[in-house]
Amino acid sequence: MKKKHRDEEELRKLMNRLNRIEGQVRGVKKMLEEEQYCVDILTQVSAIQAALNAFNKELLSSHIHSCVVEEIQKGNTDVVDELCESIKKLMK
């Protein structure tokens, strides 16, 4: 399994985003338990999806600027195919 060292700032940003998303998911669970209106829950789920998309954009950008560039500089162009496959999965 490949690993990626992240500097403290990048790690902090990504973790903060995930913590907010986790809180949003807990909020939706609470809304269900409290029998809140379906449209209100759907609105919150939509916000979670937007937050996950923002997380993916940030992580993908970091990946391209670091991992992909480093591998191409080493002569490993297979990383471009890997990137294309990752983007396809994200765009489903």
pLDDT by residue (tens digit) across 6-55?
A: 999 999 999 999 999 999 999 999 999 999 999 999 999 999 999 999 99
Residue 67 scores a pLDDT above 90: yes
- pLDDT tier for residue 2 given thresholds of 50, 70 and 90: confident
If you average pLDDT over residues 50-79, what whole number do you get?
96
Task: Report the 10 Å Cβ neighbour count for 81.
Answer: 9
What integer pLDDT is reported at residue 1 of this predicted model?
87
